[in-house]
Amino acid sequence: EAQVTQNPRYLITVTGKKLTVTCSQNMNHEYMSWYRQDPGLGLRQIYYSMNVEVTDKGDVPEGYKVSRKEKRNFPLILESPSPNQTSLYFCASSPGVAASYNEQFFGPGTRLTVL
């Protein structure tokens, strides 16, 4: 089944404890992206990647890191999480290099709470 998977789905952690949220897609998509969703703000793009080893900042990259060493995986790293990073996170992928021309396929989301 074609899908985007994220792990973990739920995570409660404490301030400053490094964490990684994994994202994997099995559709051979070139474009992958991370978003956070907060009440009343919709989705805001954190980072995106147009291909392996090519990443760029979205609108809210502060406090996050990403890497794209393989086409299928795009992990989101929080080196030192803070309470304001408590949010619902979504990973998405798209077939083309220019996601603006293609629909994005979303993962199920990761609900992160930072105490």
* Binding footprint of another protein on the chain (CB under 8 A): 4, 31, 33, 35, 40-45, 48, 50, 56-59, 88, 90, 92, 97-109, 111
Q: How far is the CB of 14 from another protein (least distance, A)?
A: 23
Q: How far is the CB of 68 from another protein (least distance, A)?
A: 14
Question: What are the start-end ranges of the E strands in 2-114?
Answer: 4-7, 10-13, 19-25, 31-38, 42-51, 54-57, 65-66, 76-78, 87-94, 105-106, 110-114
Q: How far is the CB of 101 from another protein (least distance, A)?
A: 6
Q: Which is nearer to another protein, 17 or 21 (CB)?
A: 21
State how far the Cα of 94 lies from the Cα of 31, in Å rounded to an integer.
5
